[in-house]
Amino acid sequence: MIRHNWKYKLLALLVALILWTYVNSERNPQSRQTFRVPVDVIEVKKGHVAQLGVTKVAVTVVGLKTAVEAVAKEDIEAFVNVRSMPQDKSVSEAQIPVQVRLPRAIAADLEVTANPRTLQVRVEALGEKQIPVTVGFFAEPPPGYSYGTPILSPAAVVASGLVTQLSKINSASITISSDLASSPNGDYCEVSALDKEGNSVSGVSVRPEKIRVKLGMVEMPATKTVIVSPIFSGQPKYPARVQKYTVVPSSVTLEGKPSRLSSISAIATDAISLEGAEATIVRDISLEVPSGTRPTGSRTVRVTVHIAAPHQPAE
């Protein structure tokens, strides 16, 4: 009897198993949930930086409802491993699979997928570059003055960052105003890394960020035209006397600081001796150039002194 009923017993067992599965699935059905999580990059070589084309992926978790509901966004780790990428170059790029990690206690009961499954990764070397500092000015100096040579401390800075960004740097620049000239101890100015168009280069840092600058003002050389006033010494032989004199050129142009030129209206010559003269004399004579100035042309003038006796026409 027992031998003849085994088929019925097996059928009953299968029916019971199906019923258990059905009831269990109704009580704890399959479920899925999708999370958007950030992606980390691991195994980046020292002195390099990794950049992702996409920084977040959609992670879908599938499993029994109770297991899926136990998953929090914070439990999910998404990452790409760049160990296989060549990192001996300045720049390298590759498509790397996205890996997802869940806590071990729940990972076995769940199916996990990431979308997209791969990400474009760019690994780039970091570098440094020493750059001399150049100076620009906000405005022109006051009239009659020019800026002196700025004293920079230090005169060069070190820029650091991605090698592709460092290659864009054309200059390290500071911009200063004329107010700095009134500060005897100078002031600190911020340094900017600029490309050849004068735009700031992003993604780099400058060390030091500020440098000390001292600036002075220098009076610009000015010019002024003044008359030539010849100096005479001695007297013609009696009864001759000076009828008139002429100077060629009659005026000269002096160059010097405005403060020095402001007090000068005429320029003298070396003394011209008339002692014992009986007739007209002509002399090429040197100018007595005031200190702090210089003539823009010749330093000599020609002076003609017309000498004649009374009632005798001058030559």
Q: What is the pLDDT along the chain (315 residues), one digit of tens a residue?
A: 455 566 666 666 676 666 655 555 555 577 889 999 999 999 998 989 999 989 999 999 998 888 888 888 999 999 999 998 887 778 999 999 999 999 887 888 889 999 999 999 999 999 999 999 999 888 888 777 788 888 999 999 999 999 999 999 999 999 888 777 777 778 899 999 999 999 999 989 999 999 999 988 887 888 999 999 999 999 999 888 899 999 999 999 999 888 889 899 999 999 999 999 989 999 999 999 999 999 999 999 999 999 988 765 555
- Distance between first and last Cα of the chain: 172
Does 97 sit behind a cis peptide bond, omega within 30 degrees of 0 on the bond before it? no
Sequence-separated (6 or more) residues with CB below 8 Å from residue 39: 52, 54, 55, 56, 57, 78, 79, 80, 98, 119
Residues 211 and 277 in one domain: no
Residue 121 in domain: no
Residues 185 and 268 in one domain: no
Q: State the pLDDT at residue 30.
A: 79
φ, ψ dihedrals at 128, nearest 5° = -135, 155
Residues 238 and 263 in one domain: yes
| CATH classification at residue 146 | 2.170.120.40
Q: Sheet containing 151-153: give its strands across.
A: 151-153, 210-214, 187-190
Residues 59 and 139 in one domain: no
Residue 110 in domain: yes
Secondary structure of residue 173 in the 3-state scheme: strand
| CATH classification at residue 68 | 2.170.120.30
CA-angle at 219, arms to 144 and 294, nearest 5°: 100
Residue 52 in domain: yes
Residues 269 and 253 in one domain: yes
Residues 90 and 151 in one domain: no
- Given 219, 237, 271, the domain boundary residue is 219
When computed from its CA atoms, the radius of gyration of the chain, rounded to whole angstroms, is 48
Q: Quote the CA–CA distance of 153 and 36 in Å, as a whole number.
A: 50
Tokens in use for 235? Answer: 């007297």
φ, ψ dihedrals at 201, nearest 5° = -90, 120
Residues 231 and 151 in one domain: no
Beta pairing partners, 39: 78
Q: Quote the CA–CA distance of 73 and 65 in Å, as a whole number.
A: 16
Q: Quote the CA–CA distance of 161 and 172 in Å, as a whole number.
A: 14
Q: Quote the CA–CA distance of 33 and 93 in Å, as a whole number.
A: 32
Give the total number of structural domains in the chain: 3
Q: State the pLDDT at residue 138.
A: 82
- Given 87, 116, 145, the domain boundary residue is 116
Residue 8 in domain: no
Torsion, Cα 82 88 91 94, to 10 degrees, reads -30
- Given 197, 219, 241, the domain boundary residue is 219
CA-angle at 125, arms to 120 and 127, nearest 5°: 150
Residue 12 in domain: no
Q: State the pLDDT at residue 1.
A: 46
Tokens in use for 309? Answer: 């006796």
Residue 210 in domain: yes
Residues 154 and 73 in one domain: no
Q: Which helix (H) or strand (E) holds 81?
A: strand 77-81
| Cα distances (angstroms) measured from residue 36 to each of 55, 64, 151, 161 | 10, 20, 55, 30
Which ranges of 122-277 does DSSP label H, i.e. alpha helix?
Answer: 163-166, 258-261
To the question of pTM greater than 0.85 for the whole model, the response is no
Domain that holds residue 59: 30-116
Closest to 204 measured CA to CA, from 128, 96, 273: 128
φ, ψ dihedrals at 239, nearest 5° = -95, 10
Residues 154 and 236 in one domain: no
Residue 136 in domain: yes
Residues 214 and 233 in one domain: no
Sequence-separated (6 or more) residues with CB below 8 Å from residue 180: 186, 187, 189, 213, 214, 215
Q: Quote the CA–CA distance of 69 and 65 in Å, as a whole number.
A: 6
Residue 233 in domain: yes
Residues 46 and 99 in one domain: yes
Residues 303 and 242 in one domain: yes
